[in-house]
Chains A and B, each alone.
Chain A
Amino acid sequence: MSNLIESFGDFTGFWMVLGQVGLFTLVLLLSIAFLLLLDRKIWAAVMMRKGPNVVGPFGLLQSFADFGKFLLKEIVIPAGANKTVFILAPILTCTLSFVAWAAIPVAPGTVSGTSWVVSNLNVGVLYLFAISSLGVYGIIMGGWASNSKYPFLGALRSAAQMVSYEVSIGFIIVTVILLSGSMNLSVIVENQAGGFWNWHAFSLQYFPLIFVMFPMFVMFFISALAETNRPPFDLPEAESELVAGYQVEYGSTPYLLFMLGEYLNIVLMCAMMTVLFLGGWHGPFALGDAVQDWPPLLLSLSGLFWFMVKILFFFFMFAMVKAIVPRYRYDQLMRLGWKIFLPTSLAAVLIVAGYVVYTGVQS
């Protein structure tokens, strides 16, 4: 709230924020349409298929055709379902995954010290963590309200799974917070300026910590897979056991909302990894004085370019994992989360905290 007042002392700021929200929503929706296609194309290429190639050139318009089909179908609500919760669940999932984007800084601002972000929160990391921890409700509510067995099993699995992996995600985030000394996402990104070796994933400016931070980066990626219910951790919707898990009874627009929320969450996780570990909007090399005379808008746009490239890289990794890795067994999933990731990330927090106190990089 205080940020809002400071940055827009003017009441027209309200309309500016509204405009930014609209812009974010529009860009996200459009990119999701093409990312969905990309996902399917990568998956197809790994299996030596062609993938969707009928609608539009190279199948580019496939997602829009699917969108139209989803919207025009009849909404079927099962007779025994709890109607309100049944309808509320996909809306909640979709809304939450949009809301989280408010705190993601996508590019440096045209005025130095600012960034392109809807709300530059002081507790940005915690905000993202809080919103992503709410994502489980959409799944539990959907699974329970369907009032049938497969969705319920899927919902129970997902509740346990997402709560488990949130714990290790939390500790991994703490290591990044310790290094950058702030929970503001823009400050975290600025802390990684000056070339790719300064990114938190490599953190050569805190030299020996690369042996802690790089494993943390990999663990965050794996936990992100579990948190978004992607293969190899897609047990909540494991189609060979639970048909489609919590989404079995859904069709038409509610299903569309579930799928939209799921993909938005995946892209959000990609953005989180970009911001926390891969230097956000910073390019791989610091250009320093060479770009001093560039107009600030061009610098912002180049920042936006790098941000998008990194998100695409992570999305590609997500798609490749989906295509290549077989599904985990449920006890293996729980073991990985509680017995391996939790102690390792806890040890990493201790090591990084010790390093920060010993070298005094934050004081």
Chain B
Amino acid sequence: MLHQLGALRALAVYAFWILATIVVLSAVMVIAARNPVHSVLFLILAFFTSAGLLVLIGAEFLAMLLVVVYVGAVAVLFLFVVMMLDVDFVELKQGFLSYLPFGLLVGAVFLAEIVLASFAGLESHVSTFDASPGAATNAEAIGQVMYTQYMLLFQMAGIILLVAMIGAIVLTLRHRPGVKRQSVAKQTSRRRSDAFELKDPSSGQGI
């Protein structure tokens, strides 16, 4: 039994390395791809594979949320916008070299932070990681704290999103005069008798 469980764990380790490789490669391709639509598609691959990594550590609820929210909604809008833009690919790549040092700097800081954090937390947290603390499933674990302990943060995040949405609407909403609009009430209240009338013309008479 023990060595069989070991075999499954080995399977999980292989799965981790495969998924992690795909995440890193697709993340590199997001900035390296020549075509912006390809970039977004690689971004979607990175999101999706990250969801796979979350499943691997037992956080299946978060994984599904990642797919539903980021892949299913946010990335669709990205793709939607990028597809409709008329982008000059050559012009887009011209700033690449001048921004490169800055990008490398940010990347190096991120890497240093991750290395530091993972070495510091290696002994205390990693070995005892529990994806669903104090509950049967991690959906329940999140549900227990979301509306109690983190109520304020949760509501604040909601309000920020609402403000952002209203802001976007206010910035783009224009009232143009003289536009022909659909009046739904008028359309649905239209009856058969308003639309046509049956005539029975006698032969040779016409209407």
Contact = CB atoms under 8 A, between A and B. Distances in A.
A222 B72 CA distance: 20
Contacts of A123: 60-61, 64, 137, 139
B41 interface: yes
Contacts of B105: none
A163 B58 contact: no
B60 A122 contact: yes
A189 to B, nearest CB: 18
A121 B60 contact: yes
B184 A9 contact: no
A1 B79 contact: no
A130 to B, nearest CB: 4
A11 B64 contact: no
A11 B84 contact: no
A130 B79 contact: no
B12 interface: yes
B5 A9 contact: yes
Contacts of A122: 60-61, 137, 139
A9 B65 contact: no
A155 B80 CA distance: 9
A273 interface: no
Given A134-B71, A134-B72, A166-B72, A126 B64 contact: yes
A130 B67 contact: yes
Contact of A9 (B1, B64, B71): B1
Interface string A1-16: 1101100011100100
A5 B5 contact: yes
A11 B184 contact: no
Contact of B73 (A127, A133, A152, A183): A133
A5 B73 CA distance: 32
Main secondary structure on chain B at its contact with chain A?
helix
Given A122-B139, A126-B64, A126-B65, A140 B83 contact: yes
Nearest to B57: A1
Given A9-B4, A140-B76, A130 B84 contact: no
Nearest to A177: B139
Contacts of B60: 121-123
A335 B184 contact: yes
A130 B58 contact: no
A197 interface: no
Nearest to B58: A2
A144 B83 contact: yes
Nearest to A121: B60
Interface string A83-103: 001000000000000000000
Interface string A212-229: 000000000000000000
B44 interface: yes
Contacts of A9: 1, 4-5
B37 to A, nearest CB: 6
Contact of B4 (A2, A11, A126, A140): A11
A1 B41 CA distance: 27
A85 B11 CA distance: 31
Contacts of B137: 122-123, 183
Interface in B150-165: none
Interface of B: 1, 4-5, 7-8, 11-12, 35, 37-38, 41, 44, 48, 55-56, 58, 60-61, 64-65, 67-68, 71-73, 76-77, 79-80, 83-84, 137, 139, 182, 184
Q: Closest 7 A-B residue pairs measured CB to CB?
A: A133-B72, A126-B64, A130-B67, A122-B137, A130-B68, A123-B60, A130-B64
